[in-house]
Amino acid sequence: MSWHVTKTIEGGSPKDELVALRAEALTQNPECGDQFEAACNAAYAILASAAVGGQGKKFVVTMSGHSNPGHEPRPGWANDVITVSVTQAMF
């Protein structure tokens, strides 16, 4: 089961906005909740570190992944994966 979500985060509380993004992702694929949780935690850690810019900046957070049942490989299916991207926005 594959999933993908993108959100622009504009200051405020990134944790709250990531929780909303997780809720959006769960509507796409409720079976991947553990992956969404891990992706949101990683995105928040990046934002909180200020490694891509500090408070008052805008960011585009993109998270995607694929999860097989039980996180076990299945012939003909993609491998499990989680991708998190945090980009400082210039708009």
Q: Where are the domains of the chain?
A: 2-89
Q: With bands split at pLDDT 50, 70 and 90, how would you rate the model's confidence at 54? A: confident
Tokens 């945090």 map to which residue?
A: 86
pLDDT at residue 12 above 70?
A: no
**Distance (Å, whole) CA 17 – CA 5:** 12
Distance CA 10, CA 55 (A): 9
Do 29 and 2 form a contact (C-beta atoms < 8 A)? yes
Q: What is the pLDDT of residue 31?
A: 78
Q: DSSP string spanning 65-88? A: EE--GGG---TTSPPPEEEEEEEE
